[in-house]
Chain A
Amino acid sequence: MDKNLDNSSNAKDEALKKVRQKVAIVDVEDLLKKEARDAADAKMNMAPPKNPEELKGFKKYFKKEFWSRTGEQIWKHTFFEKYYRDKELAKITSEIRNTGNVYATQENIDKDAHDKTMQAIAERFMLDYEGAVDEKEEKKTLEADKPEVVTAKADIKNLIFDYIKGSVNKEVFTSSKNRIISTLNGEDDAREPKMYADNLLELADNAKIAVEHGVKMEELDMDFDIIVGKAKSGIKTEAKFGAIEKAVSAIKGTKIGRFVNPATLTTAVGIAYSAMSATGKIAKMFGMSKIAAYTTFGVTAGISGALAAANESERLANERRELTRKLAKGGIISENSEENEKMSKYVYEMKSSNDLSASLREAVFIKDKDGNDILKDIKEEDLPKVLEILSEIETRNSLANEREIDLISYSNPGNVEKEKLDLIKLVATAKYGVKSKLENELKGKLPGGQDFDAYFDSQVQIMKDSLLGGEKGITSIDKAFKWAKIKGSAAVGAKTVAYGIAFGALTQELFALGSWAMGGHKVGVIQGIIEQMKDGEVPHESVETPLETFRGWITGHPLHMDMNDAIGMNVDGHDFKAPQGTNIFKNPDGTFNILNGDRVVSENVPFDYNSDGTLSDATMARLGEDGIMAGSTCSMIESTKEVVTSANDWVHNHLEKTTHIMREWMGNDTPMYPDPDHPGHLLGADLNELRTEWVGNGIDEHGDYVMTVQHMTNDGSFQNGVSVAAQEEMKKGNLEVLFSVTKNSQVNVLKGIIGPDGLIHIPHDSLEGKMLFDNVGGHAKYEGAFLEIAKHNGDMTDGREIMQILSTHIGENNPHDITEVIPITGPFSTTDINLPIAKDGPWFIPVPKHKPLEPVIYEETPVVIPSYETPTSYGDKAKKYFSDLNLYRNDDKQIEQLVSRMSADEKLSKQFDFVLNRLEVLQNYDKATPEVKASIEKESFIYNQRYSKNNPIHINEYVSNEIKRLHSQIENIYIENCEVGEKPFEKSFYENSPLLKGLENCGEVVIVLPDPIGDAVLTLPLINSLTEYFKLNKNSKGIKVISKNKALYSSLEEQFPNVRIFSPAESKSHFELQSKKVFVFNANRSFEDYELFKLSEEQAHDLSNVMSVDWSSWQKQEFPTNKRLMKKYDTLPGRVARGLEIMLGQKLFKDINQTSKYIETSSKFKTESEEIRKKYKIAKDADIFVISAGSSTTPKEYAPEKWREVMDGIYAKYPKAHILFLDDPDPTKKARYGAMVDSYKSQTGHKISRSDDRLDKMNTIMSMAKTVITPDTGLGHFAGALGTPTVMIYLSNPVLWSTPGAKRVSHKKALNTYKDGTNIYNKAWDGGSISNSYSGKSTDGYYVEDNGEMVGASSISPKEVLSKIG
């Protein structure tokens, strides 16, 4: 027991109180199924087009993106939609069950979200509040005397006691309690167990704490009630189907006899017979019978149309459900999401659960000293507001339950149940508080003297009417959606009818049973197939008729070949299953052809795999284009593999098998000295130091190694008055042998036994025997570093054992590598290749390609751009003077003019009315109505909760920040709404701008780049923007760039003829000699030598002479596309480019976010790349990967062993890969990573080279690369700026520090810095222990949080990195 625990009776009582008297066991299968379906829906989404403008008009036919999207829309989202969706659903459901985590497959959800959700559900079911459990959920308390309940309670009690005693751990507890729950619920052992939310572990933990606080086990009251229930997902929306969809669904597959009585059918068939016998040719009869009215092709086609329309209508209803659920879970519609935007019109207005909670907290609660919500003293004047909020929450909940819709949204999928519970508890407490007040002090204060319940019901009814009615009410939205559905489905139906008429049902059926050439004879298709089956020629070949194709499309079940007796095959190391007769051939170019018999089903398909061996989505989509349904399954199978480890690595990896020691030498007071004849050896040993001897040749009859210390004497080991009686200690068994594997690992030794007779016996097949000894011609040889005879002499406080060393046998320090068998849990994947049956006849199926919904974003968008912190230690001393960039933008007066202009502009005022309205509201905050004020205060409250909890900002500051933010948005709107070259601001801006004045008056521009490469590279759009500005304004002023890393940027001189690059030294001589007036963009954090440019200190502070900034000066820019969408310029290059557009008052780029590169490949590329290939012997067809491992801060780096795994993955995927691993200029980093590369190369034989090339070659090297992989580091950003695909591993803000094409692999901390609006995780830079050196400790490359958590980019799984490569 922890001696610090407080066992006072108070603490004991408190602890005992926490041991609940209730157990809740809640079936959460509904949640599981819905989360799985939502996740499957999300997988079926299609990302918005990269450039939507290019997909319009005639030009779209020349765009690859158009064709690939069209293919996907037809195959994945039309023909194979059901297949893909079902496949995803099965995969996700299985993963959820296997991991026991309902959010297992969803991104952007905290790891502990599942546990929190389950806790919230269990707690909700234990609440006695009204409304805690929804009407459609089930809850009951089990009768305590039922035998199964008695047994379950006894089992639970025993399990908890075992847990308290420590005889079962958490893992065992969890599986045991699951078994108890299954038994209690009468589940069949053979079935997959259901998922439950329960509080048993919480109960056990609390009981354990109580015992630790002195409660005796027998004092624990374990006679708890068991509540069982069935929970429904907190998100309610389900698709509502119309009458026709329901009807069509009801008749699908129903026997006709159910609807038509025999007499009617007989009559109908009779009429048909008569008609048939009367004419023989039905066509002739059309004009003369009443039946003719029904027997046109139009009717037949109309039937197909009706089915198609019904299906389309069903699809729309499902998509509405899908989008509503996503938005209710906190999803945000991203840019260019055309389909989401369209559908969002039919999503009911929802209120955020957090906003409702915040309103309620503000109205009814105050915080106690511990920060808990407690009811405040409600006054009469508080009542209207409190009741309004309560009735709104009640109404939204009640309508949601009644109609299975969502009117409350949550912040994130993983927070739904938690926030729901929070709201329920708040509402219940608030209701109780208000009701009590109304029954006492405030009695009779409600209108008409009504009591709370009556008044509240009437308020809820009013609120219901208000939510249902009105222009944006539920009824109107439903009506609008019904019309949209009719219109949408009618369009698809009409298209199908048109196709049906054009090609004719007749043709379809004709082909169904028409002729088919086989062996020169004409036979019926079916007969042909059957005959083939009889002859056994092509037993599984089949032919798809157009009608069947059509039917497949309608029903979502296209025909494919039989997979029942599919054959297994291994292609290129991957397992496949395919119908019999299938062959997959590899082409010389690495692509594959798929044949079935003689039929070529698909050609030249590049097979790409995911890291778990499953086929990539791209490959499946490509196969889908040829009608092939490919589905990979991946199972995690435990097995073992042999790995060869160097002895040194073995020690490092198995420190637990070694002993950490500190040596005390028993050197007999004689000094050691170098042997002049044998450099590296020492002389001076004597007495026992020389008495570790081989027995004979050191090898016994079994081949084992034998040594002896029997000749050691009691007086042969001493030092400084301390002695060890060797013989005595030997007899007592106190002497040990210490094996130092290598010199580097000598503090961690392996221990061996010395017998009382002084014999040391090392079996030849033992670890030590294999790793440290050799039999050389019958003589034993010690290959380890040292073999020492020692006696244990106590322990150090840090755990090291103190060993007195009596004798040392020096070995060769050349131990053998070890082959280890290690357990692995590996993904083993098989891919089913499901071939379409051969098609006969033309395809004339109507193909109304289907555009699916786009994905939504689940992340919290900051309400306000928080100001960024500057890192506390960042290398060089920071300069004193920074320019305020706001002074280069429109001032308040100019903004006012822009606002007036916008209000007067019909188009702009309509498009951005929400911006103008909000600005007006904020500007008039002081005069606002109490309701408006309350709403803004609520926003401010949420902001403080989210970003500034410890130091909340005042409401006035919040309003002022929001106004500034809107001003910035207005500038962005003007820039965004004009063409390149246009200048949209007011005349006064251009007359007074200090930047424009400075650029006009100067003779040339100077840009001082930051020293860190990454900062400099990401700031380079300064040069692009200024060059573009000069070009547009026909100005030819030169730009002089000063950089410590001149060689890296030299290609910019080719790219921009007006640019010259200088090193700092060159710049001195250049500027001393020149007399031109300059405008300085000082982007360097420590540069302040303005005298160089002949500027006094005062002049340097003049905004029209110097713009002094660093990376943190550039703020995020936003363009509010519409009320829901915000186009962001959030990367550092994006911030610089948009910031300068605003400061220069001119649109410079068509679309900043579409810029793929801003450094061009050097003209030296051809010559240099040939030299580099030659230097590193890189094959012509090699895929070159470049890795740069060093970073400014060790926690940002990726550990050597992780790089090994990444490289393993690269070679597995790209057998022709050649990796160039860049040596870091820092000698410590160079040694750390270089050693790993060298050993990797020698162990694997893979093509990998350490590149010692300097910065002047980086342009060529990075341009040669297929992919560059780095931590968040300068050369990675440089590669990204060149447009080379870059995979970057982040510990800091992954968006800010990003080039356009970077694929990000982000640590959780990195994502938090982005979400929180901070841009640096300062902890990584703080403290003296964090430096660029490595101490050899396990904390290298990490920093340690206050709670002991080790944080570093190395925590990211190599699998994640690999998933982004290629």
Chain B
Amino acid sequence: MKEETKNAGESLDLKAFVDKLISEKKDYEGLEPGVLDQIKSDILKRVEERVNVVMITNLSEDAIDEFNKMSEANATDDEMQNFFLKNIPDLPQLIAAELLVFRDTYLS
């Protein structure tokens, strides 16, 4: 189902990425699970915001106009995803780079 797909998109890969980050951070060993969940949720939000901004800043001027029109017209998630894939051909690499910078700054 579409809703499940969206949730999976939100949680599975990025959450796994954040989980791994946390596990690499020795300081968090022994924390209560609830506390750890809160930390993960905060970090996930940061990651999402950074990736979103990376995507917007890599759009051309025309594409930004189109993006705005789609936002105002309440475009579906599928339409949005296709739009970004079309307008940023190396989107996976771009996101990966941002994730790596994020990881490096946290773990260094």
- 8 Å CB contacts to B: which residues of A249-280? 250-262, 264-273, 275-276
B35: Cβ under 8 A from any A Cβ:
yes
Q: Is the interface of B mostly helix, strand, loop or mixed?
A: helix
A246: Cβ under 8 A from any B Cβ:
yes
Query: How many Å from the CB of B98 to the closest CB on chain A?
Result: 7
A303: Cβ under 8 A from any B Cβ:
yes
Question: In the complex, which residues of chain B have a beta carbon less than 8 angstroms from the beta carbon of A276?
Answer: 100, 103
Q: What residue in chain A is nearest B24 (Cβ atoms)?
A: A276
Query: How many Å from the CB of A687 to the closest CB on chain B?
Result: 99
B1: Cβ under 8 A from any A Cβ:
no
Is there an interface contact between A506 and B104, defined as CB atoms closer than 8 Å? yes
Is there an interface contact between B9 and A260, defined as CB atoms closer than 8 Å? yes
Is there an interface contact between B81 and A261, defined as CB atoms closer than 8 Å? yes
Is there an interface contact between A513 and B100, defined as CB atoms closer than 8 Å? no
Question: In the complex, which residues of chain A have a beta carbon less than 8 angstroms from the beta carbon of B6?
Answer: 255, 257-258
Known: A257-B6, A264-B91, A264-B92. A299 touches B101 (CB 8 A): yes
Q: Which of A257, A282, A302, A513 contacts B25 (CB 8 A)?
A: A513
Q: What residue in chain B is nearest A533 (Cβ atoms)?
A: B35
The CA-CA distance from A266 to B52 in the complex, in Å, is: 16
Query: How many Å from the CB of A267 to the closest CB on chain B?
Result: 4
The CA-CA distance from A541 to B108 in the complex, in Å, is: 27
Question: In the complex, which residues of chain B have a beta carbon less than 8 angstroms from the beta carbon of A267?
Answer: 92, 96
Query: How many Å from the CB of A545 to the closest CB on chain B?
Result: 11
Question: In the complex, which residues of chain A have a beta carbon less than 8 angstroms from the beta carbon of B57?
Answer: 302-303, 306
Is there an interface contact between B71 and A259, defined as CB atoms closer than 8 Å? no
Is there an interface contact between A264 and B95, defined as CB atoms closer than 8 Å? yes
- 8 Å CB contacts to A: which residues of B73-108? 77-78, 80-81, 84-85, 90-106, 108
B65: Cβ under 8 A from any A Cβ:
yes
The CA-CA distance from A257 to B27 in the complex, in Å, is: 30
A643: Cβ under 8 A from any B Cβ:
no
Q: What residue in chain B is nearest A282 (Cβ atoms)?
A: B104
Q: What residue in chain B is nearest A285 (Cβ atoms)?
A: B100
A864: Cβ under 8 A from any B Cβ:
no
Question: In the complex, which residues of chain A have a beta carbon less than 8 angstroms from the beta carbon of B20?
Answer: 273
Question: In the complex, which residues of chain A have a beta carbon less than 8 angstroms from the beta carbon of B28?
Answer: 524, 526-527
Is there an interface contact between A259 and B10, defined as CB atoms closer than 8 Å? no
Question: In the complex, which residues of chain B have a beta carbon less than 8 angstroms from the beta carbon of A271?
Answer: 92-93, 96
The CA-CA distance from A270 to B68 in the complex, in Å, is: 30
Q: What residue in chain A is nearest B64 (Cβ atoms)?
A: A243
The interface stretch among A17-25, A214-222, A288-296 is A288-296
Query: How many Å from the CB of A286 to the closest CB on chain B?
Result: 9
Is there an interface contact between B65 and A259, defined as CB atoms closer than 8 Å? no
Q: Which of B16, B48, B64, B108 contacts A244 (CB 8 A)?
A: B64
Is there an interface contact between A306 and B13, defined as CB atoms closer than 8 Å? no
Is there an interface contact between B97 and A294, defined as CB atoms closer than 8 Å? yes
Question: In the complex, which residues of chain B have a beta carbon less than 8 angstroms from the beta carbon of A293?
Answer: 97
The CA-CA distance from A292 to B90 in the complex, in Å, is: 13
- 8 Å CB contacts to B: which residues of A810-847? none
Is there an interface contact between A260 and B91, defined as CB atoms closer than 8 Å? yes
Q: What residue in chain B is nearest A251 (Cβ atoms)?
A: B52
A559: Cβ under 8 A from any B Cβ:
no
Question: In the complex, which residues of chain A have a beta carbon less than 8 angstroms from the beta carbon of B14?
Answer: 256, 265, 269
The CB with the most chain B CB atoms within 10 A, among A254, A260, A266, is that of A260
> How many interface residues does chain B have, given as a range?
35 or more
Query: How many Å from the CB of B80 to the closest CB on chain A?
Result: 5
A916: Cβ under 8 A from any B Cβ:
no
Question: In the complex, which residues of chain B have a beta carbon less than 8 angstroms from the beta carbon of A247?
Answer: 56, 59, 64, 67-68, 71
The CA-CA distance from A1074 to B55 in the complex, in Å, is: 93
A975: Cβ under 8 A from any B Cβ:
no
Known: A250-B68, A299-B101, A527-B31. A294 touches B12 (CB 8 A): no
The CA-CA distance from A290 to B108 in the complex, in Å, is: 22
Question: In the complex, which residues of chain A have a beta carbon less than 8 angstroms from the beta carbon of B78?
Answer: 261
A307: Cβ under 8 A from any B Cβ:
yes
Is there an interface contact between A510 and B108, defined as CB atoms closer than 8 Å? yes
The CA-CA distance from A11 to B100 in the complex, in Å, is: 88
The CA-CA distance from A526 to B96 in the complex, in Å, is: 26
Question: In the complex, which residues of chain A have a beta carbon less than 8 angstroms from the beta carbon of B51?
Answer: 256, 260
- 8 Å CB contacts to B: which residues of A418-446? none
A505: Cβ under 8 A from any B Cβ:
yes
The CA-CA distance from A267 to B96 in the complex, in Å, is: 8
Is there an interface contact between B106 and A513, defined as CB atoms closer than 8 Å? yes
Known: A264-B95, A269-B17, A282-B104. A255 touches B61 (CB 8 A): no
A106: Cβ under 8 A from any B Cβ:
no
The CA-CA distance from A275 to B25 in the complex, in Å, is: 18
A509: Cβ under 8 A from any B Cβ:
yes
Is there an interface contact between B103 and A282, defined as CB atoms closer than 8 Å? yes
Is there an interface contact between B48 and A256, defined as CB atoms closer than 8 Å? yes
Is there an interface contact between B5 and A291, defined as CB atoms closer than 8 Å? no
The CA-CA distance from A512 to B16 in the complex, in Å, is: 21
The CA-CA distance from A523 to B98 in the complex, in Å, is: 27
Q: Which of A243, A253, A506 contacts B61 (CB 8 A)?
A: A243
Is there an interface contact between B53 and A251, defined as CB atoms closer than 8 Å? yes
Query: How many Å from the CB of A247 to the closest CB on chain B?
Result: 5
Question: In the complex, which residues of chain B have a beta carbon less than 8 angstroms from the beta carbon of A248?
Answer: 53, 56
Known: A250-B68, A306-B56. A268 touches B35 (CB 8 A): no
The CA-CA distance from A290 to B96 in the complex, in Å, is: 11
A1263: Cβ under 8 A from any B Cβ:
no
The CA-CA distance from A254 to B9 in the complex, in Å, is: 13
Question: In the complex, which residues of chain B have a beta carbon less than 8 angstroms from the beta carbon of A253?
Answer: 49
Query: How many Å from the CB of B62 to the closest CB on chain A?
Result: 9
Question: In the complex, which residues of chain B have a beta carbon less than 8 angstroms from the beta carbon of A265?
Answer: 9, 13-14, 95
Question: In the complex, which residues of chain B have a beta carbon less than 8 angstroms from the beta carbon of A251?
Answer: 52-53, 55-56
**Binary contact track A488-520/B, C-beta < 8 Å → 1, others 0:** 000000000000000001101110110000000
Q: What residue in chain A is nearest B51 (Cβ atoms)?
A: A256
Known: A257-B77, A506-B105, A527-B28. A262 touches B13 (CB 8 A): yes
A300: Cβ under 8 A from any B Cβ:
yes
The CA-CA distance from A257 to B25 in the complex, in Å, is: 26
Known: A259-B55, A260-B95, A272-B17. A303 touches B104 (CB 8 A): no
Is there an interface contact between B53 and A268, defined as CB atoms closer than 8 Å? no
A150: Cβ under 8 A from any B Cβ:
no
Is there an interface contact between B93 and A506, defined as CB atoms closer than 8 Å? no
A530: Cβ under 8 A from any B Cβ:
yes
Is there an interface contact between A259 and B92, defined as CB atoms closer than 8 Å? no
Query: How many Å from the CB of B2 to the closest CB on chain A?
Result: 11
Question: In the complex, which residues of chain A have a beta carbon less than 8 angstroms from the beta carbon of B7?
Answer: 257
A283: Cβ under 8 A from any B Cβ:
yes
Question: In the complex, which residues of chain B have a beta carbon less than 8 angstroms from the beta carbon of A257?
Answer: 6-10, 77
Q: What residue in chain B is nearest A528 (Cβ atoms)?
A: B27
- 8 Å CB contacts to B: which residues of A1028-1062? none
Query: How many Å from the CB of B17 to the closest CB on chain A?
Result: 5
Q: What residue in chain B is nearest A526 (Cβ atoms)?
A: B39
The CA-CA distance from A243 to B66 in the complex, in Å, is: 9
Question: In the complex, which residues of chain A have a beta carbon less than 8 angstroms from the beta carbon of B9?
Answer: 256-257, 260-262, 265
The CA-CA distance from A258 to B48 in the complex, in Å, is: 11
Question: In the complex, which residues of chain B have a beta carbon less than 8 angstroms from the beta carbon of A282?
Answer: 100-101, 103-104
Complex A-B: 22 CB contacts under 8 Å: A246-B68, A250-B67, A252-B49, A254-B48, A257-B7, A257-B8, A259-B84, A260-B81, A264-B81, A264-B91, A265-B14, A268-B96, A285-B100, A295-B100, A299-B54, A299-B101, A506-B108, A509-B102, A510-B105, A512-B105, A524-B27, A527-B27
Nearest 3 CB-CB pairs, A to B? Answer: A509-B105, A294-B97, A257-B9
Q: What would 13 more interface pairs be, CB under 8 Å, given A267-B96, A510-B108, A526-B28?
A: A247-B68, A248-B56, A255-B48, A256-B9, A264-B81, A265-B13, A265-B95, A272-B96, A272-B100, A290-B93, A291-B97, A292-B97, A294-B98
Task: List the interface of chain A (C-beta within 8 A of B).
Answer: 243-244, 246-248, 250-262, 264-273, 275-276, 282-283, 285, 290-295, 299-300, 302-303, 306-307, 505-506, 508-510, 512-513, 523-524, 526-527, 530, 534
Task: List the interface of chain B (C-beta within 8 A of A).
Answer: 5-10, 12-14, 16-17, 20, 25, 27-28, 31-32, 35, 39, 47-57, 59, 61, 64-65, 67-68, 71, 77-78, 80-81, 84-85, 90-106, 108
